[in-house]
């Protein structure tokens, strides 16, 4: 695993989650895992999780039409999708605002993958792409803005491939027979000038990921934090008290991030309120 000291401390709740996944769990990918037969999966350990994530990338690449040459990978994480796209013969421009992610791309040294450290909002280029990929990134910027910008950055008839979580608009539970093609995002995409080519609800196929992360939070992260606090309090009670006074805000931020992560990875909540879908759109 890359030494933690080389990485910048997480600054935001999002960074905290991504940091936990890569630096604590040691996973080499930031997206969910995928299981063809999820019902046969019992308990996912870290190794199985890595295999599930590799399978997810394989399934995602199966959706890339054969005429696609250039890809804009928006919110590219630590580059496993970008590297797989390059191996499959595509030219990839990958972007992410996270400084830690830049290091993974620098290390990959692939002439077919270029990295830009920027948000999608501030990304500028004269290039027009065959495909724009939002792999678990479409919720990180305004959705309507994201769809319009993707439309602008595509060549005529270019494709937009979106893979990720779709929450119900009012935050309540979905009906069990909810059809993801009815989700407002699909309507919004049509308004932005996209036709739906293919749409799949893969919620059951990714669900073992949520169950595994939930266990990792309750069985690894929370006990470790409790241990660190108890150890510090026993070894250096005054320093611990001063730390709490002077860094109270950071302490609260960690607790908030942890609470958010717990909510996000609660398997029952996920099953009820989230649909995980892959959607291939074409610019009309
Ligand atoms: C959950 S990760 C998904 C990473 C990768 N696409 C994958 O499938 O493994 C979300 C990514 O979106 C990036 N991100 C966050 N805010 C963003 C923004 N405003 N514009 C572009 N990317 C953003 C994060 O830094 C991270 O790389």
Spans of all domains in the chain: 42-205+275-283
Q: Which long-range contacts (CB under 8 A, 24 or more apart) does 37-42 make?
A: 38/204, 38/205, 38/207, 38/208, 39/204, 41/208
Q: Could you tell me if the CB of 29 is within 6 A of ligand 1?
A: yes
Comparing 30-34, 206-210, 244-248, the range with the smallest average pLDDT is 244-248
Cα 284 from Cα 194, distance rounded (Å): 5
Cα 18 from Cα 14, distance rounded (Å): 6
Which ligand 1 atom minimizes the distance to the CA of 73? 6
* Mean pLDDT, rounded, of the chain: 88
Q: Are 161 and 240 in contact (CB under 8 A)?
A: no
Question: In the structure encoding, which two tokens stand for residue 171, read together?
Answer: 């935050």
Pocket test for ligand 1, best of 96, 134, 209, 261 (most atoms within 8 A of CB): 96
Cα 54 from Cα 56, distance rounded (Å): 5
Q: Could you tell me if the CB of 120 is within 6 A of ligand 1?
A: yes
Higher pLDDT, 181 or 237: 181
* Confidence at residue 227, expressed as pLDDT on a 0 to 100 scale: 77
* Confidence at residue 6, expressed as pLDDT on a 0 to 100 scale: 45
Assign domain 42-205+275-283 to its CATH architecture. 3-Layer(aba) Sandwich (3.40)
Report CA torsion sign: 183, 186, 206, 137: negative
Q: Could you tell me if the CB of 71 is within 6 A of ligand 1?
A: no
Q: How far is the CA of 220 from the centre of ligand 1 (A)?
A: 25
Q: Could you tell me if the CB of 146 is within 6 A of ligand 1?
A: no
Question: In the structure encoding, which two tokens stand for residue 74, read together?
Answer: 């928006």
Reported confidence tier of residue 147, pLDDT bands at 50, 70, 90: very high
**Tens digit of each residue's pLDDT (9 = 90 or more) over 46-100:** 888 999 999 999 999 999 999 999 999 999 999 999 999 999 999 999 999 988 8
Residue 40, C-beta contacts closer than 8 angstroms, at least 6 positions apart: none
Q: What is the DSSP string of 174-228?
A: PPTT--GGGSHHHHHHHHTTEEEEEEEE-HHHHHHHHHHHHHHIIIIIHHHHHHH
* Confidence at residue 9, expressed as pLDDT on a 0 to 100 scale: 47
Higher pLDDT, 101 or 13: 101
**Tens digit of each residue's pLDDT (9 = 90 or more) over 217-265:** 888 777 877 777 777 777 777 777 766 666 666 667 777 777 887 888 8
């Amino acid at each position: 695993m890359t030494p933690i000291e080389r990485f910048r401390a997480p600054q935001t709740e999002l960074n905290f989650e991504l940091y936990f996944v890569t630096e604590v769990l040691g996973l080499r990918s930031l997206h969910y895992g995928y299981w063809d037969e999820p019902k046969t999966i019992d308990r996912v350990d870290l190794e199985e999780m890595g295999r599930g994530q590799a399978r997810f990338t394989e399934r995602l690449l199966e959706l890339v039409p054969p005429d696609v040459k250039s890809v804009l990978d928006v919110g590219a994480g630590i580059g496993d999708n970008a590297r797989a796209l390059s191996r499959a013969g595509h030219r990839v421009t990958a972007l992410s605002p996270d400084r830690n992610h830049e290091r993974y791309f620098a290390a990959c040294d692939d002439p077919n993958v270029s990295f830009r450290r920027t948000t999608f909002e501030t990304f500028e280029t004269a290039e027009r792409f065959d495909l724009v990929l939002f792999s678990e990134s479409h919720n990180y910027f305004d959705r309507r803005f994201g769809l319009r910008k993707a439309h602008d950055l595509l060549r005529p008839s270019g494709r937009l491939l979106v893979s990720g979580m779709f929450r119900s608009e009012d935050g309540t539970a979905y009906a069990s027979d909810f059809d993801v093609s009815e989700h407002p995002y699909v309507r919004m995409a049509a308004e932005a000038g996209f036709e739906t080519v293919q749409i799949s609800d893969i919620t059951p196929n990714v669900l073992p990921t949520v169950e595994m992360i939930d266990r990792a939070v309750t069985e690894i992260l929370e006990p470790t934090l409790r241990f660190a606090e108890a150890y510090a309090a026993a070894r250096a009670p005054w320093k611990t008290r001063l730390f709490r006074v002077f860094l109270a805000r950071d302490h609260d931020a960690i607790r908030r991030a942890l609470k958010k992560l717990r909510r996000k990875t609660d398997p029952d909540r996920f099953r009820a309120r989230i649909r995980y879908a892959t959607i291939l759109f074409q610019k009309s």
